[in-house]
Structure 1
Amino acid sequence: MFRTEGIEMAERLRCELVSQETVYDLVYKLAEEIRASDYHPDLVVAISRGGFTPARVLCDVLGLFNLTSIRVVHYSKAAVHEQQAFVKYPLCMDVAGQRILLVDDVNDTGDTLKIARSHLESLGPTEVRIAVLHEKSCSPVRAEYVAESLDKWHWLIYPWAVVEDVGGFLLEMTPPSADSDQAADWLLNTYGLRLPEDQLSHLLSLIRKRVE
């Protein structure tokens, strides 16, 4: 099982699948917030990897073309927290005097955004503002643009992380199961997670190929 501070994650972790449709709805909300604030970014910086899709769609909605990314290492696999976040792949370009919009999928502990903002501000931009799809109330760091605020903590699984996150959960089954019904029951009972039948079948097939 996943462990945090000696507590088995399966004993208290609950998950929510975020649909592709929901992602687009949240990005549109972010775009409206940004327009209403009269902020005009010169550069959009996605936090790799969760910020890639939101940042790209946000650029499309806002008509922005300057998009790049940085990589902040924080979570090694679903719900497993490493001791310290750090910038693994920094921004290697001149952004002095520019207005930057930093984009990620979720503001959870705030560590990622804190490290990322500090890194970008050290490069001398005019301003750095943050946009996220979800922000959890437990985070000590606040983004300027938030599509949805969450008061109750739970693990969010976005469309771009289903294989990584749910696949990681399934590999923790004891013993591992290739049976769709058994896996579905285990995910529901352990994580409160219900996957479409065809998606779960594809996922189990991928896992079998990886462990063979």
Structure 2
Amino acid sequence: MKLIVVKVPVKLVSWDDIVTWASTLANKIIESKWIPDVVVAIARGGYVPARLLCDNLGISDLVSLQVVHWPSSAQVSEKAYIKYPVAQIDLNGKRVLIVDDIVDTGDSVVIAKDHVLSRWPKADVRTGALQWISTVAKFKPDYYAYEVKEWVWFMYPWNLVEDLSNFIRRIMNDEYKANSKVNWSLMELTDKLSEWYGEEILKVPLSYLSRAIASLEKEGFISRLRGNDFEIIRLVKY
């Protein structure tokens, strides 16, 4: 019997999970008796959590900045950096809550907080996230809804197509380098996704896999040969 070792375990997150965690996070903030004047969402993962928090807390001032740290799903860049800073507003004297979906390494939240304080040193800045991976994070947010003690790659409902596209790209590139494989059936690709990322990934609706494949075809990474009862997915960019 072949032993299959999952390379990157994934966990599918539902919209219900997101809503529940956002409510829990809001309650913790309310209990602390520190209510922010402004919420700063870390793009892109913090957009939805930040908007839900604003709704739960009754906050209308929501801005964003973008930190680049994960250039590809489950692959970290060498260093996090600010890609798009906060817009030209005055946050001095304001209670500012910086929000992300998850604190894993913690680099994104730290650099976002440092960025805000460097421009508005009189701001009262705190941080929040839906999830905090306590076993690997170098930074603990002031507020979090759910502590994660074992690292996995969380597939959020707002980036399923992007994650699947990146996973497929990685698999096809790896298999080409190892075995010069360029032609794939959909079943082969699905089996390999399960082998690399675990059976949890099979819970993602097939419509998202179709969109991921279409996206890769559009960018010229793959081509598709279609017949009456078959489809071949061919690697184009080696």
TM-score by length of 2: 0.79
User: In percent, how many aligned pairs have the same letter?
Assistant: 36
When structure 1 is superposed on structure 2, of 67-76 and 198-207 the one drifting more is: 198-207
Supply the AA of the counterpart residue of 1:128.
V
Q: Could you tell me how far 1:145 is from its partner in structure 2? A: 1.0
4+ runs deviating over 6 angstroms: none
Q: Which residue of 2 aligns with 1:150?
A: 148
Q: How far apart are the structure 2 equivalents of 1:20 and 1:119?
A: 30
Q: Which residue of 2 aligns with 1:59?
A: 54
Paired residues for 1:2-151 under 5 Å: 12-91=7-86, 92-122=88-118, 123-137=120-134, 138-151=136-149
* CA deviation string 1:46-100 (max 9, x = no partner): 0011101110111112111000001112121112222111112222221110000
Of Structure 1 and Structure 2, the greater strand share is in 1
Q: Could you tell me how far 1:176 is from its partner in structure 2? A: 6.0
Q: How far apart are the structure 1 equivalents of 2:183 and 2:105?
A: 33
Cα distance 1:209–1:88, how it changes in 2: closer, same or farther (>3 A)? closer
Supply the AA of the counterpart residue of 2:132.
E
The answer to whether the 8 A contact 1:131-1:143 is kept is yes
Unpaired runs of 5+ in structure 2?
Answer: 176-180, 224-238
The answer to whether the 8 A contact 2:164-2:209 is kept is no
Q: Given the alignment of the two structures, is residue 181 of structure 1 paired with residue 187 of structure 2, yes or no?
A: yes
The answer to whether the 8 A contact 2:101-2:131 is kept is yes
* CA deviation string 1:121-140 (max 9, x = no partner): 22124411111011111111
Q: Could you tell me how far 1:201 is from its partner in structure 2? A: 2.9
Q: How far apart are the structure 1 equivalents of 2:157 and 2:184?
A: 22
**Structure whose CA Rg is larger:** 2
The answer to whether the 8 A contact 1:27-1:54 is kept is yes
Where 2:78 maps in the other structure, the secondary structure is strand
Q: How far apart are the structure 2 equivalents of 1:157 and 1:203?
A: 14
Aligned Cα root-mean-square deviation (Å): 1.9
Q: How far apart are the structure 2 equivalents of 1:207 and 1:72?
A: 24
Unpaired runs of 5+ in structure 1?
Answer: 1-9
Q: Which residue of 1 aligns with 2:160?
A: 162
